[in-house]
């Protein structure tokens, strides 16, 4: 004889088609929400990275460049350079540079010297250890180096140890918050009153 429990059947024998569809839809919804969160975070971080990249390009693009021949100025007996003349202009597409925020530094194998701004800044004869704007071309009478303008910097040296014949030196011109321009030169074996520094 059979028992009465065999006649009724086992309770909850398995998933029905409807239950399987509900579970599948729940998994799809959870996966969609997770995917949305991941994509949103990725876009947020890529936006921040893009902003950082654009800021870096702006800073790098705001540098100045040498716009002509660099000269050394000396006096008898022509043992050292007394001054260095550097013409500069903006690189293409750069933002204006406020020349009152620019710092200069003279470096060489034997020393590193900051060079201070002369007061007044616009003069053709700065004090020893100072720099000035000797001349301006295509300017609009302010101290902003703008597109199309050229400024001639006069750097009067205090420490001339690396500015003797065959000496090497570099002048770093750094606008505030911008990329520095490094002008490296080697002094020729023969110095005159005005020596070209190629």
Q: E strands, the chain, where? A: 64-66, 71-73, 83-90, 97-98, 103-108, 111-122, 130-137, 144-145, 150-156, 168-174, 181-186, 194-196
> Is pLDDT of 62 > 50?
no
Q: What 3-state class would DSSP assign to 37?
A: helix
- pLDDT, residue 95, reads 86
φ, ψ of residue 6 in degrees (nearest 5): -70, -25
Going by pLDDT thresholds of 50, 70 and 90, the confidence category of residue 166 is very high
Distance, CA of 121 to CA of 153 (rounded, Å): 10
User: Can you give the pTM of this predicted structure?
Assistant: 0.69
- Give the phi and the psi of residue 93 in degrees, each rounded to 5: 80, 10
Q: What are phi and psi of 186, to 5 degrees?
A: -115, 130
Average pLDDT, the chain: 85
Is the pLDDT confidence value at 140 over 60?
yes
Mean pLDDT on 159-187: 91
- How confident is residue 60, by pLDDT bands cut at 50, 70 and 90? low
């Amino acid at each position: 004889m059979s028992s009465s429990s065999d006649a009724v059947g086992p309770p909850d024998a398995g998933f029905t088609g409807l239950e399987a569809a509900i579970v599948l839809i729940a998994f799809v919804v959870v996966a969609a929400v997770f995917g949305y969160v991941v994509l949103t975070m990725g876009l947020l971080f890529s936006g921040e990275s893009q902003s950082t990249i654009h800021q870096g390009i702006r800073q790098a693009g705001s540098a100045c460049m040498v716009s002509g021949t660099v000269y050394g100025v000396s006096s008898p007996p022509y043992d050292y350079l007394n001054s260095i003349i550097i013409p500069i202009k903006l690189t293409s597409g750069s933002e204006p540079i406020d020349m009152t925020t620019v710092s200069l530094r003279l470096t060489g194998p034997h020393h590193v010297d900051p060079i201070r701004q002369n007061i007044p800044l616009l003069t053709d004869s700065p004090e020893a250890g100072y720099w000035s704007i000797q001349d301006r071309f295509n300017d609009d009478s302010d101290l902003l180096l703008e597109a199309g303008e050229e400024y001639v910097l006069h750097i009067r040296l205090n420490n001339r140890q690396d500015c003797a014949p065959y000496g090497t030196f570099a002048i770093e011109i750094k606008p505030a918050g911008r990329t520095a321009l490094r002008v490296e030169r080697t002094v020729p074996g023969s110095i005159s009153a005005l020596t070209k520094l190629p």
